[in-house]
Amino acid sequence: MKKLFLVTVALALLGSFALQVSGSKVNKFAYASTLLQDNKTKVMQDQLPKEVQDALSSQYQGWTVGDIYLVTSKVEYYSIELTKDGNTKTVNLDKDGKAVM
């Protein structure tokens, strides 16, 4: 009877610890995604620098431009969603129209 009680208490403690750990990971993820969202500003295509517009028209000819965001982090760049023939991709270009990883 004593062993059953100890096993029950041990399982309860482990379960409580597991909930605390998984909860903290979720909170950290939610906080990180909020930070990432705060660094994005929606931009219209005609507001892009000429170099970025030139890169789009020459390197992505035939692609339709969708949502565009100016992302400010360590490096400032434009995140541009493109679609063509049912395919969608996102390209990241700096203010000079050069690809950013």
What is the model's pTM? Answer: 0.62
To the nearest 5 percent, what fractions of the chain are helix, strand and coil? 50, 30, 20
Contact 1, 9 (CB under 8 A): no
- Cα 77 to Cα 99: distance, rounded to the nearest angstrom: 9
Helix or strand run (H / E) with residue 17: helix 2-38
Q: How far is CA 12 from the centre of its chain?
A: 36
Q: Is the model's pLDDT at 59 over the cut of 90?
A: yes
DSSP state of 18: H
For residue 101, name the pLDDT band (cuts at 50, 70, 90): confident
Residue 27 has pLDDT above 80, yes or no: no
Question: Between 41 and 4, whose confidence is greater?
Answer: 41
pLDDT of residue 11: 67
